[in-house]
Amino acid sequence: MALTDLTVHELQALLRTREISSRELTLAFLKRIADTDKHIGAFITTCEKTALENADRADARLSAGNAAPLTGIPLALKDIFITEDIRTTCASQILDNFIPPYNGTAVRKLMEQEAVLLGKLNMDEFAMGSSNENSAFGTVKNPWNRECVPGGSSGGSAAAVAARQAGATLGTDTGGSIRQPASHCGVVGLKPTYGRVSRYGVVAYASSLDQVGPVARDVEDCAIMLGAVAGYDPADSTSINLPVPDYQAALKQGVKGLKIGLPKEYFIEGLDADIQQTIDKAINTLRELGAETVEVSLPHTEYAVACYYLIATAEASSNLARYDGVRYGKRMDDGRGLIDMYMKSRAAGFGPEVKRRIMLGTYALSSGYYDAYYLKAQKVRTLIRQDFLDAFNHVDVILTPVAPTPAFRIGEKTADPLQMYLSDIFTIPVNLAGTCGLSVPCGFSRDGLPIGMQLIGRPFGEETILQSAYAYEQATEWHRHSAPL
Amino acid sequence: MTSRYEVVIGLEVHVQLTTQTKIFCNCSTAFGKQPNSQTCPVCLGLPGALPVLNRKVAEYAIKTGLATNCSIAPRSIFARKNYFYPDLPKGYQISQFELPICEHGRLDIEVEGQPKSIGITRIHMEEDAGKLLHDSGDTSRVDLNRACTPLLEIVSEPDMRSSDEAIAYLKKLHQIVVYLGVCDGNLEEGSFRCDANVSIRPWGQKEFGTRAELKNINSFRFIKQAIDYEIERQTDILDDGGRVIQETRLFDTDSGTTRSMRGKEEAHDYRYFPDPDLVPLIVSDAWVEQMRRELPELPEAKISRFVGELGLPAYDAEVLAADRLMAEYYDSLVALNGNAKLCANWVMGELQRALNDSGTSIADCPVTPQLLAGILKRIDDNTISNKIAKTVFDAMWQSGKDADTIIEEQGLKQVTDTGAIEAIVDEVMAANPGQVEEYRGGKEKLMGFFVGQVMRATKGKANPAAVNEMLKKKLSG
């Protein structure tokens, strides 16, 4: 077994006993990236030099015996995380020359642990997309089948873990952007409760929905990563001041006696047969482990996608106004005045999906339409959140599919944005409700593509969904399968 | 001149707050520093940066709201005002829209003895934009030091009916924010900026006329000029049977006129919506009460106390209360010397003159209330005359020495000894027999001449009352 095949918790042990050094491990991952990424395209930027400097500092700290959980572990970040002195593109032409002067909070926390930053990962431009086809840096390929998409928008984050190019990665999830690619790539991805992880230093797509979370080889790695970045941050007014539990310690509590809700609106006619079967089997496994399952209802589910595409695009239209060519990023200026510079810079800098969403959002906020669209969507959002809170009066966890189909083929849905938007139909409601959800592998389609199940928890109930996923994972072998690469 | 039209004016005032740091980041708000030296990822609008509210700004807003009789919202919301401009780094300004922190206030003004109450619609918090520096060529540069500095926007009801009322309202508001210490009140540096909405309508008409918005005028005089010009312009249009169009107009200080900047059709759709990066601001009753306790005594209350308790004439009370530090100086002085009128005369007279002549602000005044009280004490006990007291005051201003030291060193002690005064009076009468004759012949005006002679002989130190008395007695002989 190669070093790059090991999980973070396995690597932790080897590093602490000094059986391996972080430098050795980092070199192994850098070689793996060099060998495989031409087939995958997960990385926009690799940081060989700084990664080895990180590794040497980590080795000194490991030798001194005061290692933190991620000291010396090679990680990679979605290119939406602001990294000091390291180019941060958000997979957009408009930021392709942007080198930030500061680190965001999550990055700072990882750096304080002396984790090793291998590089910055591909994604849909400004996190807008469900397939990673909306990147100015090329489409990421699914490591299980390179003719398929890895999912999106954190496609690079999921593909890099599946391709063993990094110990674990961070992504962001606004409508499913961690869970859906994790499901498509056969890895574990968690979207924490809104406010659990600071958004400071994460390029904003839709501020009221964006949340940082880990993508990892298994549930335990996911717990370790979440513990490293979670917590109140005075620099983010929307972060919540609640203590961070020891997620790793909570894993082994099992599911015996846990009540799992199955929302009837999510198990409908026409759901992909492979998805239906694998999810049914997973439900049975959880029952065998002692969980009780009951049907619940989330009655406003059908409005979630429409609601999301009003709120997210409205916020995005404002969040992306700062890319105007004045202070940083791409500027197209041929001396015809300010308005001309704005229009040319933004026309050249943004891709078609980003432009589509800016236009949708601008429309939704326009005078005369605000009440009918944005305000109405906010009211629907409240109802959707209430659906979840009501359901959690009866159950501890809600179980659903992550996506309506396994990974689809590259190009299959690019001509039809609405079909693409429906890829996130099961994940979007969790963001609107502001609560937490994860994707854990639960089988394969007939074509050999991974399928994940979604476990949704109460607000700040990350421990419960991690513990459920862990119990399931321990009882199954899915996480031991590796993409053929 | 009576007009066929009634004038309607509403004012929007932008007050720059004196907090040490900006409204949503920790950068300094100091004025006049190297361009872009006081910036960070937040006020530069870098990707990923997030705003965090400076609580001090909310405190200043609450105090201003309380001082203008507003109700304070228990829950208020920050909103984004979206528009593109190079001095606006995020492409939106964080402001308040639907739920501002203060609403439903009023200010009482007085114009030519007529009291009037002007409604305040709302007060909200917002961030300022940066500044464009225009080069000689066709390029401009952006300085973001001012970006994200805190402002209050104070919006009045359209309650004013003349430029004089508008100016009275503005001066009152200016006085209050300076009194509160939330604004330095510097109009030239833009710390207190005013936009005026002006319209006219035929007397008796209920609906408002179409208004013009006059932008960013930086002195009270110019505001009055701009409004008066605008009233004339609109009157001419209506008199000629035309229609006023809704537009934004800029005041030109050189010509004293206003010109169109942009029309209604060019008005922005700002697409206001609640800023998802900031949580609602919750203001508890306890917080409001704490702010209320921290309010200084405001000008109106001071004036009525000066008149009611200290017995000052209304004029003196208003002059003294106009400036908070001056009023506090006066209060300290009265606490040391109970003669309120004497104190008022000195503060409004000698002290004000010395401050003006030397261009010194009251904050840097070398003569403290304690020192000045030392002079007044020696006037009261007849050690020195009022006239000599002014000499002592000038010496004190220069040296900072106390009154008794100066009187002692310069030998300024008043001569009250009647024997000594009598001797001098005798000398003066002996030296001026002609005048004595004339006086006795009925030319009583000459009394001034004799007093002057005696005072000269004593270098001003003789007690004037005693001299008068002695002269009368001797001359009537």
* Topology (CATH) of B418-475: Arc Repressor Mutant, subunit A (1.10.10)
Q: Which of B52, B84, B271 sits opposite A235 (nearest CB)?
A: B52
Asked if A143 and A150 touch (Cβ cutoff 8 Å), the reply is: yes
* Nearest-angstrom CA–CA distance, B220 and B290: 33
Return the residue matching tokens 């203590």. Answer: A243
- Give which of A365, A370, A371, A373 to mutate to test B binding, by max B Cβ within 10 Å: A365
Asked if A142 and A451 touch (Cβ cutoff 8 Å), the reply is: no
Active-site hit among A21, A22, A130, A177: A177
Residue among A153, A123, A151 at smallest CA distance from A136: A123
Query: Active site includes A78?
Result: yes
Establish whether the linkage from the previous residue to A153 is cis, with ω within 30° of 0: yes
Are A237 and B89 in contact (CB < 8 Å)? no
DSSP string over B81-114: EE---TT-TTSEEEE--SS-SEEEEEEEEEETTE
How distant, in Å, are the alpha carbons of A166, B175, B178, B181, B342 from that of B11?
61, 16, 18, 22, 40
Residue among A453, A287, A374, A67 at smallest CA distance from B272: A374
Asked if B94 and B78 touch (Cβ cutoff 8 Å), the reply is: yes
Q: Helix (H, G, I), strand (E, B), or coil: what is residue B323?
A: coil
Tell me how many residue pairs between chain A and chain B have CB atoms under 8 A apart: 98
> Worst-scoring range by mean pLDDT, A35-44, A109-118, B102-111, B138-147?
B138-147
477 residues of chain B, pLDDT tens digit each: 468 899 999 999 999 999 999 999 999 998 889 999 999 999 999 999 999 999 999 999 999 999 999 999 999 999 999 999 999 999 999 999 999 999 999 999 999 989 999 999 999 999 999 999 887 777 889 999 999 999 999 999 999 999 999 999 999 999 999 999 999 999 988 899 999 999 999 999 999 999 999 987 889 999 999 999 999 999 999 999 999 999 999 998 888 888 888 776 666 899 999 999 999 999 999 999 999 999 999 999 999 999 999 999 999 999 999 888 999 999 999 999 888 999 999 999 999 999 999 999 898 999 999 999 999 999 888 888 888 899 999 999 999 999 889 988 887 777 777 788 888 888 888 898 888 888 888 888 888 898 888 888 888 778 888 888 888 888 876
Residue among A32, A177, A188, A222 at smallest CA distance from A119: A32
A204 — contact with chain B (CB < 8 Å)? yes
Q: Which tens digits make up the pLDDT trace of A392-450?
A: 999 999 999 999 999 999 999 988 888 888 889 999 999 999 999 999 999 999 999 99
Q: At what angle do helices B403-410 and B386-399 cross, to 10 degrees?
A: 110
A324 — contact with chain B (CB < 8 Å)? yes
B51 contacts on A by Cβ (under 8 Å): 237
Question: Most distant CA pair in chain A: distance in Å?
Answer: 71
How distant, in Å, are the alpha carbons of A277, B272, B414 from that of B98?
50, 9, 70
Radius of gyration of chain B (CA): 30
Alpha carbon A42 to its chain's center: 14
Q: Where are the domains of chain B?
A: 5-287, 297-410, 418-475
In one-letter notation, the amino acid at residue A141 is K
A94 — contact with chain B (CB < 8 Å)? no
* Nearest-angstrom CA–CA distance, A429 and A335: 46
ipTM of the predicted structure? 0.96
Asked if B424 and B470 touch (Cβ cutoff 8 Å), the reply is: no
**pLDDT reported for residue B289:** 97
In one-letter notation, the amino acid at residue A175 is G
Backbone angles phi, psi at B458, to 5 degrees: -100, 15
Query: Active site includes A177?
Result: yes
A322 — contact with chain B (CB < 8 Å)? yes
- Give which of B50, B52, B54 to mutate to test A binding, by max A Cβ within 10 Å: B50
**pLDDT reported for residue B262:** 76
* Nearest-angstrom CA–CA distance, B231 and B217: 16
* Nearest-angstrom CA–CA distance, A141 and A200: 30
* Nearest-angstrom CA–CA distance, A190 and A435: 11
The CA distance from B339 to the nearest CA of chain A, in Å, is 55
Q: Which domains does chain A have, with CATH numbers?
A: 3-257 (3.90.1300.10)
* Nearest-angstrom CA–CA distance, A107 and B308: 65
A321 — contact with chain B (CB < 8 Å)? yes
